[in-house]
Amino acid sequence: FFSSLLSWCLCPHKPSPPRRAPRLYGQGSRTSARLECVWLKCKNLSIPLASRQPSTTLCGCVVVMALVGGLPDALRIASLNAAQAKVAGEATAYDARSAPAEASDADNGAGEGEVPKKRTMRTFDRDLVISRLHNPFKDKDVQEVEYPVRPVLRQKSTASQLRSVQKYINAFQYNYLPRTFFNTNKNRPLVRIMDTCKEIIKESLPIRCLEASFLAVYITQELSEVVRIPLSFKTEFDGNFYRHIVILTRHNTKWGSLGLSRKADLMYKTLTFESLADILWDYKVAYEKYHHTVHSFKVGLPISHDSTHSSTPCWKFFAINARTTPWEEVTKLTANY
């Protein structure tokens, strides 16, 4: 049905549409209902999709593509390519017929005695558009921001590798805007989080602590000897509550962390701590230096090194109430973990 609909939209003779749209993928499926809706709306609009005017044909194609938004991506891409090729061909013929015979040499680009060149429809060139973008700060002594360069983690010690990963995360800079640029939903499969990390690397926009934690997991996927454990905080300052998250790293018996924050002592920790309780105490002291009261620590489970893992990482395995629990008991709880 879809092929006959597309031929009805693009064929110059415009054959009559089918009287009834067939059911696809079984009776009552959403795809078949979507196709029926497309056919009925195109019939009611009565748009001359196959007219000689390229703009009218393009509008008709846009309407059809918008209505078929629920179809699979492969069908949409194939139909859009066919529509663009058809529109480009009609535009070339239309421009050749509508060009005035008395056009000046400056308009048609031909000299005396030469045959005027046919004008063709311009296609979208992403690189050309980007190259023509005007930078308003180009001549105002504003330093150019370079793209972060992903570190090479081969032939280095584990501590040096983690230091390079943290340097790479710092290169993205902290996002001080009231909104984020990426999907920060952490309750989804690990493979989807890895897709978000690829988008973060591609766009290279400022990030916050959660996106930095995603990146820390993504970059250290090849470090199979490093255990990555999420650690989140809930603190209070001046009656307001704040949340923060980092990724704990453990290699052999040493502990450290990766992350991003507005304060240097609330993110990266070198691989020098002897136990989980020691690194939690270091974060607690750092928060108290900024007059924050730590309410709770939330420790998750180790994250898989398989980037195609379909399960959701465990971000909270157990929680510690830092206000009411004595630190000796905290040390015992973390030692059992």
The answer for residues whose C-beta is within 8 angstroms of residue 306's C-beta and 6 or more apart is 190
3-class state of residue 31 by DSSP: helix
* Token pair for 252: 């052999």
The Cα 297–Cα 285 span in angstroms is 13
The Cα 111–Cα 240 span in angstroms is 75
The predicted pLDDT at position 155 comes to 78
Based on the residue annotation, tell me whether 295 is a catalytic residue of this protein: no
pTM over 0.85: no
Say what the alpha-carbon torsion angle 178, 181, 186, 192 is, to the nearest 10 degrees.
170
The predicted pLDDT at position 11 comes to 57
Q: What is the pLDDT along the chain (337 residues), one digit of tens a residue?
A: 666 666 666 655 544 544 444 443 344 444 444 444 444 444 444 444 333 344 444 445 444 444 444 444 444 455 555 555 554 554 444 444 444 444 444 444 444 455 554 444 455 565 555 555 555 566 667 667 778 889 888 878 999 999 999 999 999 999 999 899 999 999 999 999 999 999 999 999 999 999 999 999 999 999 999 999 999 999 999 999 999 999 999 999 999 999 999 999 999 999 999 999 999 999 999 999 999 999 999 999 999 999 988 999 999 999 999 999 999 999 998 988 8
Of 42, 197, 244, 292, the active-site residue reads 244
DSSP 207-253: B-HHHHHHHHHHHGGG-TTSEEEEEEEEEEETTEEEEEEEEEEEETT
Residue listed under structure tokens 């492969």: 74
> Beta strand pairing status for 269-273 and 293-299?
unpaired
Based on the residue annotation, tell me whether 261 is a catalytic residue of this protein: yes
The predicted pLDDT at position 130 comes to 57
The predicted pLDDT at position 147 comes to 85
The predicted pLDDT at position 229 comes to 97
Helix pair 209-219, 190-203: axis angle to 10 deg:
100
The predicted pLDDT at position 49 comes to 39
* CATH pick for 151-336 out of 3.10.620, 3.40.50, 1.20.1070, 3.30.70: 3.10.620
DSSP 281-333: HHHHHHHHHTTPEEEEEEE--PPPS-TT--SPP-S-SEEEETTTS-HHHHHHH
Of 7, 261, 275, 296, the active-site residue reads 261
* Token pair for 60: 């008709």
Based on the residue annotation, tell me whether 224 is a catalytic residue of this protein: no
Assess contact for 182 and 193: CB atoms under 8 A: no
The answer for residues whose C-beta is within 8 angstroms of residue 130's C-beta and 6 or more apart is none
The predicted pLDDT at position 206 comes to 93
The Cα 274–Cα 191 span in angstroms is 32
The predicted pLDDT at position 146 comes to 77
Helices (H), the chain: 2-10, 30-45, 54-67, 73-98, 105-108, 126-131, 158-170, 190-203, 209-219, 276-289, 327-336
The predicted pLDDT at position 21 comes to 40
The predicted pLDDT at position 124 comes to 52
> Beta strand pairing status for 293-299 and 254-258?
unpaired
The predicted pLDDT at position 336 comes to 83
| Domain range annotation of the chain | 151-336
The Cα 85–Cα 91 span in angstroms is 10
